[in-house]
C-alpha cells in the first residue's frame, strides 16, 4: 500500500521539476515569463490533473482459533527427615618449616659486535616540465539601472507630560535600650576518687578431648527424567500476490509562438552645439519566436495476480524420557582422642586512690543601658510638568538612475616551461662496531625458616531436620491459540496525478 501511494507523489515531483527546467532552457529565449505585455504569473505551461481510481486489493487476514491441550507437570513435594550431623570447628595452629631458596646473582659482561649499515646519499637532478595555464583577461562593461528609493523626512513635534514624584524626607530619632549581660566566674576545686583495677593471672591446664571424623562415601545412582521437545515440520503453501507494471506514453506538444522586442544597433553623430559625439539608438521592432516543444508522460498501471509458493514451519510437541546419573554422598563416623592444653584467666582486684581537679562556673548578671539612634522616612508627593520632544517620519519615494559597471572574464591559454629539481637516493654500505652488553645469572642457595599455619577440625555432634524432595506428576490443561489465514478482497481508492497540457491555443495567443 505504501508503494501505491508513493507512485502519484513521485509523478507530481517529476512534473514540477520538468516545468522549472523548461523555464531555464535556451538561455531564457523560450521562457514563458519573458512574454512582452503579459503577466508572468498567469502564463503556465503545465498543470496537475488528479483523479481517483478504485483498485482491488487482496489482503491476507489471520483469524485466531483456540483449542485445549494437556501437558504433564511435575511438582516437587518435600518430606521432613531427622538426621545426625557432625559439625567441625576449625582451629588454626603453627609449625616451623625450614626451606631452601636459590637467590639469583646477575653479572653484566660486554662483547664486540660488527654490523653493516646502509647510509643514504642524495643526488640532485633537474628536468624540464612543460605545462599550460589559463590566464584570465577581464573586460569592464557598463549598463543603466533605474530603481526607486524611499527617502525618510523627519518632523519634530512637542507635547506636555505631567507626572508625580514622591520625595523621601528622613528624620533621626533616639531611644534607650536596657539589657542584661551574664559574666562567667570560674572556681577550681579538688576531690578524692577511689577506683578498682583488675589484674589478670593466667593458669595452664590440660584435658583429653574425644572427636569424631566423618569420611565421605560416594555412590552413583540414576533416575528417569521426562522432557518435552518441539520438532519442526516443514510444509509449503501457495498464496496469491498482487503485482503489475506501469505503461508510459510520451506525447509531444509544440511550443507557442511569442513576440519578442529586438532593438537595431545605433550610430554615433556629431553634435556641433555640444562639440561632441552623441549616440543615437536604433529602432525597436517586434519579432515572432517559436518556443521549443515539450513532452508529457502519461503512466497507466496494469495490475496482475501471481501465485507464489512459500515455505512454512510448524512445531509439534513430543515427550522424551532419558536417564540422568547423580551422586549420593554418605558419611562414616570414626572416633579419635587427643590431649588439649588451654589457659584459664583469674582476675585479682586492687584498690587505688587518686586526686582529681575540676572547675565550677558561676554566672553573675550585670545590667547595661545604651542609647540607639534610628531613622524614620516620610514620603512627600511632588508634581512636575515637562515638555517632551518627539519625531515623526514620512517616507517620500524618489527615482534614481545609476550606471552599474560589471566585469566579464575570458580565459586565454598560455604555455610555460620550467626546470624542476628533484633528488635521487642511493644507499652506501658502511661497516661499524659496537659493544653489546649481556647478563649472566648464577644461583646461590639460602636456608630460610617460616611459620606455616595449619587447621585442625574438631567434630561436634548435632541433629537437624532436612527436607527430602519427591517428584509428583499431574496433567495440566492449557489453551493454545493458532492463526488461520484468510484472503479478503477490498477496494482501495488511489489518487493518480498526471500532468496535462494547460497551455491552450487561446491562452498562448493572448501573449502575442
Q: Cell match 501471481: residue?
A: 306
Q: What is the pLDDT of residue 10?
A: 56
Pick from 295, 385, 389, 276: which is nearest to 46 by CA? 295
Q: Which three cell numbers stand for residue 312?
A: 512454512
Pick from 260, 280, 255, 262: which is nearest to 270 by CA? 280
Asked whether 297 and 266 are in contact (CB, 8 A), the reply is: no
Q: Cell match 481508492: residue?
A: 493
| Residues with Cβ within 8 Å of residue 27, at least 6 apart in sequence | none
Q: What are 495's strand-pairing partners?
A: 52
Pick from 300, 317, 287: which is nearest to 246 by CA? 300
Asked whether 426 and 125 are in contact (CB, 8 A), the reply is: no
Q: What is the pLDDT of residue 27?
A: 39
> How far apart (Å, rounded) are the C-alpha atoms in residues 11 and 297?
9
Buried b (16+ CB within 10 A) or exposed e, 15-34: beebbeebeeeeeeebbbeb
> How far apart (Å, rounded) are the C-alpha atoms in residues 5 and 78?
66
Using CA atoms, how far residue 221 sits from 79, 170, 216, 460, in Å, is 20, 106, 16, 30
> How far apart (Å, rounded) are the C-alpha atoms in residues 441 and 212?
53
> How far apart (Å, rounded) are the C-alpha atoms in residues 330 and 217?
5
Measured in residues, the chain has a length of 512
Q: What are 283's strand-pairing partners?
A: none
| Residues with Cβ within 8 Å of residue 241, at least 6 apart in sequence | 305, 306, 307, 308
pLDDT > 70: what percent of the chain?
Answer: 88
pLDDT-flagged residues of the chain (< 50)? 1-5, 7, 15, 18-46, 502-512
Half-sphere exposure of 290 (CA within 13 A, CB side): 5
263 CB neighbour count, 10 Å cutoff: 10
pLDDT digits (tens, 9 = 90+) for 63-114: 888 878 888 887 888 888 888 877 778 888 888 888 888 888 888 888 888 8
Amino acid at each position: 500500500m505504501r508503494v501505491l501511494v508513493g507512485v502519484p507523489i513521485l509523478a507530481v515531483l517529476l512534473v514540477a521539476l520538468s516545468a522549472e527546467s523548461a523555464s531555464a532552457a535556451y538561455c531564457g529565449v523560450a521562457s514563458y515569463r519573458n512574454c512582452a505585455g503579459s503577466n508572468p504569473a498567469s502564463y503556465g505551461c503545465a498543470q496537475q490533473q488528479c483523479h481517483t481510481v478504485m483498485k482491488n486489493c487482496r489482503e491476507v487476514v489471520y483469524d485466531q482459533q483456540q483449542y485445549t491441550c494437556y501437558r504433564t507437570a511435575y511438582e516437587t513435594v518435600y518430606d521432613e527427615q531427622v538426621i545426625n550431623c557432625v559439625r567441625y570447628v576449625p582451629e588454626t595452629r603453627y609449625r616451623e618449616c625450614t626451606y631452601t631458596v636459590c637467590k639469583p646473582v646477575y653479572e653484566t659482561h660486554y662483547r664486540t659486535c660488527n654490523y653493516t649499515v646502509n647510509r643514504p646519499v642524495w643526488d640532485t637532478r633537474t628536468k624540464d616540465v612543460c605545462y599550460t595555464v589559463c590566464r584570465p583577461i577581464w573586460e569592464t562593461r557598463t549598463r543603466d539601472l533605474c530603481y526607486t528609493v524611499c527617502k525618510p523626512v523627519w518632523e519634530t513635534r512637542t507635547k506636555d507630560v505631567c507626572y508625580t514624584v514622591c520625595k523621601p524626607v528622613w528624620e533621626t530619632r533616639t531611644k534607650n535600650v536596657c539589657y542584661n549581660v551574664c559574666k562567667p566566674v570560674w572556681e577550681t576545686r579538688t576531690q578524692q576518687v577511689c577506683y578498682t583495677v583488675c589484674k589478670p593471672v593466667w593458669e595452664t591446664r590440660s584435658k583429653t578431648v574425644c572427636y569424631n571424623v566423618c569420611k565421605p562415601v560416594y555412590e552413583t545412582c540414576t533416575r528417569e527424567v521426562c522432557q518435552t521437545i518441539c520438532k519442526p515440520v516443514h510444509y509449503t503453501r501457495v498464496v496469491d500476490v498482487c503485482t503489475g507494471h506501469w505503461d508510459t506514453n510520451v506525447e509531444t506538444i509544440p511550443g507557442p509562438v511569442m513576440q519578442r522586442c529586438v532593438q537595431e544597433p545605433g550610430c554615433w553623430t556629431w553634435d556641433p552645439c555640444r562639440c561632441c559625439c552623441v549616440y543615437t539608438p536604433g529602432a525597436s521592432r517586434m519579432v515572432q519566436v517559436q518556443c521549443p516543444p515539450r513532452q508529457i508522460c502519461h503512466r497507466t498501471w496494469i495490475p496482475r495476480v501471481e501465485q507464489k509458493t512459500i515455505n512454512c514451519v510448524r512445531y509439534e510437541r513430543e515427550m522424551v524420557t532419558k536417564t540422568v546419573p547423580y551422586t549420593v554422598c554418605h558419611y562414616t563416623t570414626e572416633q579419635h582422642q587427643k590431649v588439649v592444653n588451654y589457659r584459664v584467666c583469674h582476675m585479682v582486684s586492687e584498690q587505688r586512690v587518686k586526686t582529681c581537679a575540676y572547675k565550677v562556673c558561676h554566672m553573675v548578671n550585670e545590667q547595661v543601658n545604651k542609647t540607639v539612634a534610628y531613622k524614620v522616612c516620610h514620603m512627600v508627593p511632588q508634581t512636575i510638568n515637562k515638555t517632551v520632544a518627539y519625531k515623526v517620519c514620512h517616507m517620500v519615494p524618489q527615482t534614481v538612475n545609476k550606471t552599474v559597471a560589471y566585469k566579464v572574464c575570458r580565459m586565454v591559454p598560455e604555455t610555460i616551461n620550467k626546470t624542476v629539481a628533484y633528488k635521487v637516493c642511493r644507499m652506501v654500505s658502511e661497516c661499524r662496531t659496537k659493544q653489546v652488553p649481556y647478563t649472566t645469572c648464577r644461583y646461590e642457595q639460602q636456608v630460610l625458616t617460616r611459620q606455616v599455619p595449619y587447621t585442625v577440625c574438631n567434630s561436634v555432634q548435632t541433629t537437624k531436620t532436612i527436607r527430602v524432595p519427591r517428584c509428583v506428576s499431574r496433567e495440566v490443561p492449557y489453551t493454545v491459540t493458532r492463526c488461520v489465514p484468510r484472503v479478503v478482497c477490498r477496494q482501495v481508492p488511489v489518487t493518480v496525478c498526471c500532468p496535462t497540457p494547460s497551455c491552450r491555443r487561446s491562452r498562448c495567443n493572448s501573449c502575442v
